[in-house]
Chains A and B, each alone.
Chain A
Amino acid sequence: MLATLSQLNGPGMDQRGAGHCPAARSRVSVQGVGGNDAVLAARLAAGDDRALAEIFDRLAPAVYAGARRVLGDDAAAQDVVQDVFVDLWSHPDRYDPAAGTLRTYLIVLARHRAVDVVRSELRRVARQERNYRLAPGQPGPTPCEEVMASEAAAAVRAAIRLLPDSQRRVVELAYFRGLTCREVANAVDIPEGTAKSRLRLGLAKLETMLDRQLLEPS
């Protein structure tokens, strides 16, 4: 049973010297703080905001760098960093220390969030383009819509940057410069079959990130 209030304030309580409890001190040995990921995860689950700050200080630069690499945009990368850490704090149980390091978990989460941002933007622009095609007599895009289309183009470029160099090169030549497969093969100095193969692989990867409608010829 617990001894409490009035008993603890009883006679004798103030008789000991300030902070002197040598017997107690000698009885306990404590280890230094453990920064391992399992402990950090348990602290997050217990609502320890200092653990969140420690994780931010240690891993936010890598999370931010990863997001910026995908998005190519500082403001959007900051939004991703915020999403990632709010998610970690709100749902600490989603991170399983047995499955990998916290660093890997956060960087992968940031990458997924960044790709989601790209996909979302592309879907929006694809819808917009489809609407233009279905209503040819409509007036052209407004300045605001042009700005958004420009952002979409940036998102496409960001997605293409994720491709391996060999595939990225043929995709850029075929889609940004309008070259045929034979012209691409000549430009890169590879057989036409290899150019087609790389183009197919590159598009397949892009399709996992981008809205299929945008890749179809208009």
Chain B
Amino acid sequence: MTAGDADRVVLPAGLRERVLDASLRARAAGQPEPAVPEISPAEAFGRAADAFYGMLCALADEDWGRPALRGLDVQGLVGHLIGVEEDVHRCLAGDPAVAEMDHVESTQPTAARQTGRWPAQTRCDWRRAADRTLDLARAAGGHRDEFAVHGMRLPLGALLVVRAFEVWTHDNDIRQAAGLPASVPDASTLRLMSGLAARLLPYAAARIGLREPTSVHLVLTGPGGGTWDVAVGDARPGPATVGIVTDAVGFCRLVANRLTADRLDLHITGDPGRAADVLNAASVLALD
């Protein structure tokens, strides 16, 4: 029997269903394999904070004055992060004033205050601010309680993953400014980040006015990835189906608005235009 003959063999009725059912009983769809250890959102933020602090400790003094983002030098960008943590502290303490504050504007004074300070002072202030976020988060209780800050209203767990996301993003902004290689979160942290980004796709699509009903089959490859089926656009029957396959780290960089979709290694099924719309929607999740 030739290879061509073998490919034309007719399978017994029911074998496909039997095999696929048995496979999914052995391992549920959507779950990465090898599985990554599950960690709490607080642990994810703690790991991101530790990695960021380690990177800051490795910087030379002259690196702190290098231009980093939005006209801020490295020290100013760390000041921005101190300001964000301080607003998160107020949010966790129940202060409603921070709920609608602008993410960049509200932290600008703290960023500006870093000018002329010793880098070690800024670094220590940031460490203390991140540690206090963790302390307050633990004291706040369940990860499902919602908190509002900078225009977001999120369960505490999601808020902490967002914090990890931002710390990792700015970690790489500073690495780029200082000529250091980019960093990648550990697989457990990345899994939480990519999962949150996938779940937020419908909101991102709504934000850019993408209303055509679309069923997105999102496959994020590599450690920390996974598979998600997300409905975006208006809830109407018969949505178009789009399959998007790309690597988890690249997708998170897209969501952080640090990479454009045309630079991702993408594999698309369905309407490429619709897939492009969804990917562009993902990038508007970033606030900077």
Contacts and interface: CB of A to CB of B under 8 A. Distances in A.
B219 A52 contact: no
Given A19-B211, A27-B280, A43-B245, A65 B10 contact: no
Nearest to B263: A28
Interface string B226-242: 11000001100000000
A17 interface: yes
B11 interface: yes
Nearest to B269: A33
A63 to B, nearest CB: 9
Nearest to B233: A19
Contacts of A43: 219, 221, 227, 245
Interface secondary structure of B, over-half rule: mixed
B148 interface: yes
A19 B175 CA distance: 37
B28 A82 contact: no
Contact of B15 (A15, A24, A60, A86): A60
B262 A28 contact: yes
28 contacts: A1-B166, A2-B152, A2-B197, A2-B255, A3-B284, A3-B286, A3-B287, A4-B200, A5-B153, A6-B152, A9-B203, A25-B273, A27-B262, A29-B276, A31-B267, A32-B268, A43-B221, A46-B219, A46-B220, A61-B11, A62-B9, A66-B6, A85-B20, A86-B22, A86-B26, A90-B27, A91-B33, A93-B34
Contacts of A28: 260-262, 276, 279-280
B3 interface: yes
Interface secondary structure of A, over-half rule: helix
Interface of A: 1-10, 13-21, 24-25, 27-34, 39, 42-53, 56-57, 60-62, 64-66, 69, 74, 78, 81-82, 85-86, 89-93
Contacts of B112: none
Given A3-B285, A66-B6, A60 B16 contact: yes
B288 A56 contact: no
Nearest to A35: B267
Given A24-B208, A42-B221, A64-B9, A5 B19 contact: no
A208 to B, nearest CB: 23
Contact of B32 (A32, A46, A69): A46
Contact of A52 (B15, B23, B151, B285): B23
Contact of A2 (B27, B266, B285): B285
A50 B285 contact: no
B70 interface: no
Contacts of B284: 3
B165 A1 contact: yes
Contacts of A86: 19, 22-23, 26
Interface string B1-30: 101011111111001101110111011111
Interface in B151-168: 151-154, 158, 162, 165-166
Contact of B226 (A46, A50, A51): A46
Contact of B152 (A3, A27, A64): A3
Contact of B151 (A10, A50, A92): A10
Contacts of A82: 15, 18-19, 22
Closest 4 CB pairs of A and B: A16-B209, A7-B151, A24-B280, A19-B212
Instruction: Kindly name the residue among A34, A47, A51, A92 whose own CB sees the greatest number of chain B CB atoms within 10 A.
Output: A47
B207 A6 contact: no
Contacts of B48: none
B222 interface: yes
Nearest to A23: B280
Given A2-B285, A85-B23, A62 B206 contact: no
Contacts of A19: 209-212, 233, 277
